[in-house]
Amino acid sequence: MHLRSVCRFVSLVRSRGAIGAALFFSAWCAAQPGATGTIEGRVFDAGRGEFLENARVTIEGTAREAFTEAGGQYRFTNVPAGPANVKVFFTGLVTQTKAISVGAGLTVQHDVTMTAPATPAKAGARGDEAVKMSEFVVSTSKEMDGAAIAINEQRFARTIMNVVAADEFGTVVDGTPGEVMKFLPGITMDYSAGEARTISMNGVPASNVPITVGGFDLASAASNGTGRVTNLDQFSVNSISRIEVHHSPTPESTGSALAGSVNMVPRSAFERSRPIHTASVFLTLKDGDRHFNKTAGPLNQPTRKVTPGFNFSSVVPVNKKFGFTISGNHVDQYS
């Protein structure tokens, strides 16, 4: 073979080898997973001083979404490296959107502080312009904040559910949740000796209405034998954050939940950024005995029918890993 032809053949082989190597490298690169990172953080309500549960966190332009846990935490894994717009929504608060940069193999800490909508500025008259009256705005309050939490819980619930937050309870004289729950749709309280003790839902007897605290069965203080009825008269309303009434049983519901179930979410120190202490003192009396004198009954000695009572609650977050709550109440009722 001529020398020039040999050189051309060698050059052709080299070119084809380079093209083959490039194609192999491209295919190998395409088969490798893209560089990803992690986004995590907590969502905080500045007005209430609490970390928010069930705040909706999304990454714009994608189908990724997450709902914050009880302590306000959320986490996205396998997020493509590069810029990402994180959007946070909670009922009654201003939606927050922020662009962050995600590094390959890194975890980005992105905490979000939510605030209430700003009050519009007052408009005044100037020259011969028409006078514009300021808007009537209902400012935020404890009751409205509690309602916003309940509405947000119901909005993103997977089942038909009613939620009432502790901030909406007000003063509960006997200290039990029965007097609060009787106003919820589908709930009928069974009374004994003047106290709301058991729950009936949509006509289903109390033995088929499971009551849980944080998802765990509530033990009854009454001697019910082998029955499933749970009495509420020994459970303090001061120890719960909100009440959830589930009207549609789910696969994880117990077999006794014929019409639904009730779950009471306990107070958590990790939901708050600073300590909060509440207390109240009150008197209880019957309509027919509105005086402080001793009268006959209920036993063999005369007693006063107007009695004092009190309740207190403290929620104390110490740090990110430790906190405590303590509550108590004392009530004497004449019946």
Specify the CATH number for the domain of residue 179.
2.170.130.10
Instruction: Say how far apart CA 90 and CA 50 lie, in whole Å.
Output: 13
* Type of residue numbered 197: R
* Predicted local confidence at residue 183, as pLDDT: 82
The pLDDT of residue 5: 46
| 10 within a domain of the structure (yes/no) | no
Same domain membership, residue 260 and residue 152:
yes
Count up the domains in the chain and report the number. Answer: 3
Last residue in a domain, options 99, 114, 129: 114
Clarify whether residues 252 and 289 are in a common domain. Answer: no
Q: Are residues 325 and 306 in the same domain?
A: yes
User: Are 105 and 61 in the same domain?
Assistant: yes
Contacts 24+ apart (CB under 8 A), 115-121: 115/46, 115/47, 116/47, 116/92, 116/140, 117/93
Strand partners for 329 = 311
CATH number at residue 65: 2.60.40.1120
Q: Which residues of 236-273 are buried (b: 16+ CB within 10 A; e: fewer)?
A: bbbbbbbbbbbbebeeebeeebbbbbbbbbebbbbbbb
Torsion of CA 233, 147, 158, 265, to 10 degrees: -30
pLDDT of residue 111: 94
Same domain, 186 and 255: yes
Cβ atoms < 10 Å from Cβ of 91: 18
150 and 251 belong to one structural domain: yes
Tokens matching residue 128: 């011969």
Q: Residue 294 falls within a domain, yes or no? A: yes
Two tokens at 101?
A: 């940069």
Who's near 139: CB < 8 A, 6+ residues apart?
Answer: 119
Whether 91 and 151 have beta carbons less than 8 Å apart is answered as yes
Return per-residue pLDDT of the chain as tens, 335 residues: 444 443 443 343 444 444 444 444 444 444 345 699 999 999 999 888 888 888 999 999 999 999 998 889 999 999 999 999 999 999 889 999 999 999 999 999 999 999 988 765 544 445 555 666 666 555 555 545 667 777 888 788 777 888 888 767 666 766 778 878 888 888 888 887 777 888 888 888 888 888 888 888 877 766 556 666 788 877 777 788 888 888 877 777 777 778 788 888 888 888 777 888 888 888 888 776 777 888 888 888 888 888 888 888 888 988 888 989 888 888 887 77
Task: Please report the pLDDT score of residue 135 as a whole number.
Answer: 64
pLDDT in tens, 70-94: 889 999 999 999 999 999 999 889 9
Instruction: Assess if residue 132 is contained within a domain.
Output: no
Q: Residue 171 and residue 189: Cα distance in Å, rounded?
A: 19
Exposure letters 11-23 (e unless 16+ CB within 10 A, then b): eeeeeeeeeeeee
243 shares a domain with 156:
yes
End of a domain among 246, 266, 286?
A: 266
Residues 160 and 262 in one domain: yes
Evaluate whether residue 17 is within a structural domain: no
- Please check whether residues 296 and 259 belong to one and the same domain: no
Same domain, 152 and 243: yes
CA–CA gap between residue 323 and residue 334 (Å, rounded): 38
| Residue 96: per-residue pLDDT | 92
Sequence-distant (≥ 6) Cβ neighbours of residue 80 within 8 angstroms: 34, 35, 36, 102
In this structure, the answer to whether residues 280 and 258 fall within a common structural domain is no
Q: Does residue 30 form part of some domain?
A: no
> How far, in Å, CA of 204 to CA of 185, rounded?
14
Question: Does residue 227 form part of some domain?
Answer: yes
- pLDDT per residue over 99-146, tens digit each? 999 999 999 999 999 998 876 554 444 555 566 666 655 555 554 566
What pLDDT is attached to residue 75? 95
Instruction: Answer yes or no: is 19 within a domain.
Output: no
Residue 145: phi, psi to the nearest 5? -65, -45
- Do 305 and 195 sit in the same domain of this protein? no
Q: What is the pLDDT of residue 300?
A: 86
Q: Determine the pLDDT at residue 137.
A: 57
End-of-domain residue from the set 222, 237, 266: 266
Is residue 21 in a domain? no
Range of the domain at 69: 36-114
